[in-house]
Structure 1
Amino acid sequence: MESKDYLKDISEIKNLMNKSSRFISLSGLSGIMAGVYALIGAAIAYYLVMNFSYGTLILDGQIFRWVLVDLILVATLSIITGIILTTKKAKKHGSKIWDATSKRLVFNFLIPLVVGGLYILIILNQQKYGQAGALMLIFYGLALINASKYSIGDIRYLGFAEIILGLTAALLPGYGFWLWVLGFGILHIIYGTWMHFKYDVN
């Protein structure tokens, strides 16, 4: 009987330590919505390029600027939705949304993301934009893996998948757009749905 009590106490201590070192309030629904936003943004970008640029995206053209605005809107909506849904989940479980753990999570997530974003801007400025989609996937995957040790560990699997898609896009640049859609759209929806039913649904 005492042995069972000790095992129970150890299990509870382990859970408390895990909660204190990891931010576990990430919402699966935010992943689903990010995927939906990416699909809508991709559809808009495809329409703009095919109907107004004759299937070719010129770096210094007006359509390219609209596509950039489209990407920024997708990222902004994803971030805002993620913050709202994650805050709601944290409050539901009585957890703090902004503490030392969440700060470490954001910091480690942003390091590869910011470096990758700056590198992509540099190569775009040099008119080397054929690999931009592949680099977005690769650096985003690295950001997820880097942040996974401070959050739900399962997000690293999404990170590995994004990196694989990014490397594939680098090898097959003609399919870069569709691989971007698969990585940021479809995979986010699949991952978000899985995480929602695994962690959010009680």
Structure 2
Amino acid sequence: MAFISSSTVLNSHSLLCSSLTQDLHGFSRNIATSNSIRESSQLQVWAAGGKSMPPRQGRGYNSRKAAAEGIRKRMSNRDLDQAGWVQVAEKGDLIEGKNKAIIHENNGYVMVQRGSLIYTVKANCTSCQFPMIDGKVEVVGEGDDLTIECPLCHTKFSMVDGDVKDFCPKDGALQWVIGTIKERASPVAANVYPTRMSNSGRIYVKFIGI
């Protein structure tokens, strides 16, 4: 019968423990490597702006506010998609009661604000071709009809539909001369253009009949 010494048993136990320890270390390294590869892949997807990108977070971040801001930007951009409307100014560019000169494709226009309404008319008077940027604007009656008067010949035009309200009135020396020259001419309506302001404060004009 063979006898196994205590030293042999201890040596075998030590070898077994050492082998298990090495296997555990190797397993841990494999898990760490796998996690590192997976995190690197996620970072690449996030950096590329993929669907796996986590939501923005941090101090002061408000998800509702961010969502509302996104909606507002999309709504503002819709204005640019509507055919025929051209942005010409911002809300802060207009002062009520003061004429605003607008240039679009080498053509001049006069823009006037009255309350929530904005009017745009071709700048040159159809009677004498003089620029009306400094033309006097008046409210007609109780309605929203405005007239603009040519500074040279004093012809008045409606800023709503362009109709001639007073054609070469001869109410001054120079106006008398122009009126005499224009006696046989027919009044020509001014060109007016639909104008509106978006919720974001952008002012658009639909230039038609140029």
Question: Aligning the two structures, in what range does the TM-score lie when normalised by the shorter sequence?
Answer: under 0.3
Looking at secondary structure, tell me which structure has more helix per residue: 1
Looking at secondary structure, tell me which structure has more strand per residue: 2
- Relative CO higher for 1 or 2, CA cutoff 8 Å, sep ≥ 6? 1
Which structure has the larger Rg over C-alpha atoms?
Answer: 2
TM-score, length-scaled by structure 2: 0.21
